[in-house]
């Protein structure tokens, strides 16, 4: 493909991903503060989900936990609803935009590698959603760490800016979801023969240190629990990526050795498969 064709392909896939996110955002707009009942099961609203960690802190610290929706003007509530809806659409449309991302990289892969890529795509969506789910366990501790120091005197009250609180929750969940995609991207680099498994093994100490620094910087809260909740799964996933990369390297080396041996056994006047 020429450079222009690459740009047109990227534009086409970006438009498809954007349409999927918009459709998901429309659904997020609907369930933002409206309960849905499907098959007799009642789903909570997005507002309930976002404010649940704050409510738990409010039970222990009555002076902490009230949200201020008018700190940035009368449009605050509307802009928050729009932001949360887009965030919700980004998460539930992850199968689509992840597929488009892999589809853009697929032309550089062989047929065998494309089949493997589709398998890893099937893994990346659950990993992304798993990361978002794991973040919900760290959220209450992070909120309590940040707001738990509010004095319990009658003259003290913590009126949290709703815009900042919602932004904190969104970033917190997205960071965990994207961090859990680490093995997918490492394996993709290995499939493209950019990052061999032996290099990943030799650099595991550097990788662990880099993951620790990344977790400390990207974790929205400064407490150690949130950092460890992000760091430990990333380290486990990194070593899982090493095992997969080593398996792919060994399989690829065996296939190349077989092809080379077949080529050497063919007489000079005959055409080889290679």
Q: What percent of the chain has pLDDT over 90?
A: 7
Say if residues 219 and 225 touch (Cβ distance below 8 Å): no
Give the model's confidence band at 22: pLDDT under 50 very low, under 70 low, under 90 confident, else very high: very high
Q: What pLDDT does 222 receive?
A: 67
Beta-carbon-side half-sphere exposure of residue 169 (alpha carbons within 13 Å):
25
Question: Which pLDDT tens digit goes with each residue over 229-261?
Answer: 788 888 888 888 888 888 888 887 777 666 665
Q: What pLDDT does 247 receive?
A: 85
- pLDDT of residue 166 exceeding 90, the answer is no
- Please say whether the dihedral angle defined by the alpha carbons of residues 47, 48, 51 and 53, taken in this order, is positive or negative: negative
The stretch 77-91 carries a mean pLDDT of: 88
Give the model's confidence band at 23: pLDDT under 50 very low, under 70 low, under 90 confident, else very high: very high
CA gap 196, 198 in Å, rounded: 6
The residue among 274 and 163 whose pLDDT is bigger is 163
Contacts of 249 (CB under 8 A, 6+ apart): 190, 196, 197, 198
Give the model's confidence band at 182: pLDDT under 50 very low, under 70 low, under 90 confident, else very high: confident
Q: What pLDDT does 35 receive?
A: 72
The stretch 19-36 carries a mean pLDDT of: 88
Which tokens sit at 269? Answer: 């006047």
Q: What pLDDT does 19 receive?
A: 94
Question: Which pLDDT tens digit goes with each residue over 92-104?
Answer: 888 888 788 877 7
Q: What pLDDT does 26 receive?
A: 93
Question: Which pLDDT tens digit goes with each residue over 258-270?
Answer: 666 555 566 667 7
The stretch 23-41 carries a mean pLDDT of: 79
CA gap 6, 18 in Å, rounded: 18
- pLDDT of residue 37 exceeding 80, the answer is no
CA gap 70, 130 in Å, rounded: 34
Question: Which pLDDT tens digit goes with each residue over 54-72?
Answer: 877 777 777 666 777 776 6
Give the model's confidence band at 25: pLDDT under 50 very low, under 70 low, under 90 confident, else very high: very high
Q: Which residue has the tokens 């809806």?
A: 85
The stretch 185-203 carries a mean pLDDT of: 81
- pLDDT of residue 172 exceeding 70, the answer is yes
Helix (H) or strand (E) holding 36: strand 36-38
Q: Which residue has the tokens 């498809």?
A: 16
- pLDDT of residue 211 exceeding 80, the answer is yes
SS3 152: coil
Contacts of 70 (CB under 8 A, 6+ apart): 76
Give the model's confidence band at 48: pLDDT under 50 very low, under 70 low, under 90 confident, else very high: confident
Which tokens sit at 78? Answer: 């509307």
Question: Which pLDDT tens digit goes with each residue over 102-159?
Answer: 777 666 666 766 676 677 677 878 888 888 888 888 787 778 777 766 666 656 667 7
Give the model's confidence band at 42: pLDDT under 50 very low, under 70 low, under 90 confident, else very high: low
């Amino acid at each position: 493909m020429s450079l222009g064709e690459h740009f047109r392909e990227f534009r086409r896939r970006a438009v498809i991903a954007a349409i999927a996110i918009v459709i998901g955002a429309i659904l997020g707009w609907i369930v933002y503060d409206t309960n849905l009942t499907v098959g007799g099961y009642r789903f909570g609203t997005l507002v309930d989900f976002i404010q649940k960690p704050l409510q738990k802190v409010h039970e222990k610290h009555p002076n902490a936990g009230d949200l201020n929706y008018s700190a940035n003007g009368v449009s605050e509530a509307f802009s928050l609803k729009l932001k949360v809806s887009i965030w919700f659409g980004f998460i539930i449309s992850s199968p689509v935009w992840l597929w488009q991302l892999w589809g853009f990289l697929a032309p550089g892969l062989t047929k065998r590698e494309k089949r493997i890529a589709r398998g890893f795509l099937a893994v990346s969506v659950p990993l992304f959603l798993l990361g978002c789910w794991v973040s919900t366990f760290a959220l209450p501790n992070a909120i309590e760490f940040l707001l738990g120091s509010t004095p319990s005197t009658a003259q003290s009250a913590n009126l949290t800016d709703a815009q900042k609180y919602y932004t904190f929750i969104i970033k917190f969940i997205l960071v965990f979801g994207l961090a859990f995609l680490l093995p997918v991207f490492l394996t993709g680099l290995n499939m493209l023969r950019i990052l061999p498994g032996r290099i990943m093994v030799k650099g595991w100490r550097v990788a662990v240190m880099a993951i620790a620094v990344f977790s400390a910087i990207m974790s929205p809260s400064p407490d150690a629990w949130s950092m460890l909740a992000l760091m430990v799964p990333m380290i486990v996933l990194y070593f899982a990526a090493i095992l997969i990369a080593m398996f792919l390297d060994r399989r690829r080396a065996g296939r190349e050795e077989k092809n080379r041996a077949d080529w050497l056994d063919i007489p000079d006047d005959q055409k080889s498969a290679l």
